[in-house]
Chain A
Amino acid sequence: MTIAEWAKDVVLRLARVPAEPQVPEGAEESVRVFNAGRNYFAWRLIVWGLGNAAIALGLLVVFGLSFIPKLPSLVRTIWWVVEAGAAGLFVASIPITYFLQRLNYEMRWYIVTDRSLRIRSGVVWLQEMTMTFANIQEIRVNANPIERLLGLANVEVRSAGGGGSAEHGTSSSGHVAKFAGVDNAEAIRDLLVGRLRVYRDSGLGERTVEAQEPLALSAAREVLQETRALRNSFAGGLRSTQRG
């Protein structure tokens, strides 16, 4: 067991994170479990790195401001002590947040069954969402330029209902299930579309009876076929009596 694995184990136990999500009820052979793509960790690191760079820059600016002339030396000393404390905290947090990024990348499950999908993510702030295909309204696939460079995309599945935050593109809106950073978005989209096809009346709106029609239709065809066969057999009988 490597140190990283050991640390992961300890963190998960301390944070009481259940190891793997339960698969929602559904036909067993239909269960497909997806994870974030290999490059998703790289993408997370980019975002994390930019965030940290912004903090470092902020600290630097605050440090620079302390050189304002005519500042009493006592104020300057206090300023530097506070600044040093903040910088120390920041440096100490880097390995921790790095490790959490890694865990966040590893602890992601996108489960699809024949009836529903379940998305589980997060380590400290654990989130799990379940949605049935019968309630799905739309599917979107999107990717920004950097994600495309990394071969990643996000598949978003939406159910009915508004969400003020949907415009910001975050998944904080409750009605969005996001397959974040997958490297097989096309396959997932096709799978979802295929599963959705079964539910003709999925989402809101007028219910169509189409989904039930084939059953009655095939039965009606059978009736037609039988009637025709009966007529033929009558016709055959008549011909033979006329001849005879």
Chain B
Amino acid sequence: MSVAPIPPHIVAVERPRESLMTYYVLQAIAANVAFPFVFPYLYFRYHTMRYRFDTDGIHMKWGIIFRREVLLNYSRIQDIHLRSNLIERWLGLARIEIQTASGSASANMMLEGMDDPEGMRDFLYSRMRGTQEEKAGNAADPLAAVLHEVAGELREIRALVEGTRA
């Protein structure tokens, strides 16, 4: 598969957008009794969340006490979900859940707070296995090309033989 450069607006994505923090605050309030536990977790999650999109895959890291880093290759993506509830849509948010073939039902990576979730989904989709392969697979079969050339040479020889006889 040919490696096309990553579009600049994707490379530019490093931090989630600010409205994610608003959403986190609402989420922590919704947890009511658990607020003192949920809020710090989400607060630090938001402030330490970093994304990096390079030619092979996505790096995502967050956390302050338990530091977490997830790496994921574009070509290993199995399916992409775009999910949002009412409040997220009001804030202009959506979460992109990416799954690989590892054995869990939940998402392997959840991209939150993207500026343009649909654009990001389209980008990821374009890097998935099976969206490009067809072109790459059939265009250049070197063996077939060589065989075609051999056949062409043989045709030339036959033309020569038949030409000298006539």
What is A's interface to B at a CB cutoff of 8 Å?
15-17, 22, 24-26, 115-116, 124-135, 159-166, 172-175, 177, 198-199, 202, 204, 211-212, 215-216, 218-220, 222-223, 225-227, 229-230, 233-234, 236-237, 240
Contact of B130 among A163, A199, A204, A230 (CB under 8 A): A199
Within 8 A of A (CB), among B97-136: 97, 99-107, 118, 121-122, 125-126, 128-131, 133-134
Instruction: Flag the segment in B3-11, B36-44, B74-82 that touches A.
Output: B74-82
State whether B79 touches A219 (Cβ < 8 A). no
Q: Chain B: interface residue count, which band? A: 35 or more
State whether B105 touches A175 (Cβ < 8 A). yes
Give the complex CA separation of A223 and B148 in angstroms.
7
- Given A219-B144, A226-B158, A240-B165, A135 and B129 touching (CB < 8 A)? yes
Residue of A nearest to B121 (CB): A130
Contacts of B80 in A (CB 8 A): 129-131
B35 CB → nearest A CB, Å: 23
Give the complex CA separation of A225 and B122 in angstroms.
47
State whether A131 touches B154 (Cβ < 8 A). no
Contacts of B161 in A (CB 8 A): 230, 233-234, 237
Contacts of B157 in A (CB 8 A): 230
Give the complex CA separation of A22 and B157 in angstroms.
56
- Given A125-B85, A237-B165, A25 and B125 touching (CB < 8 A)? yes
Contacts of B150 in A (CB 8 A): 223
Return 27 A-B CB contacts under 8 Å, by A number: A22-B118, A22-B122, A25-B122, A116-B130, A116-B131, A124-B86, A126-B85, A130-B79, A130-B81, A132-B125, A134-B130, A135-B129, A159-B78, A161-B99, A161-B105, A162-B105, A164-B104, A174-B81, A174-B99, A198-B134, A204-B101, A215-B138, A215-B141, A216-B143, A219-B143, A230-B158, A240-B165
- Given A24-B125, A175-B79, A226 and B151 touching (CB < 8 A)? yes
Residue of A nearest to B105 (CB): A163
State whether B128 touches A135 (Cβ < 8 A). yes
State whether A126 touches B154 (Cβ < 8 A). no
B135 CB → nearest A CB, Å: 11
Residue of A nearest to B145 (CB): A219
Give the complex CA separation of A240 and B164 in angstroms.
13
B75 CB → nearest A CB, Å: 10
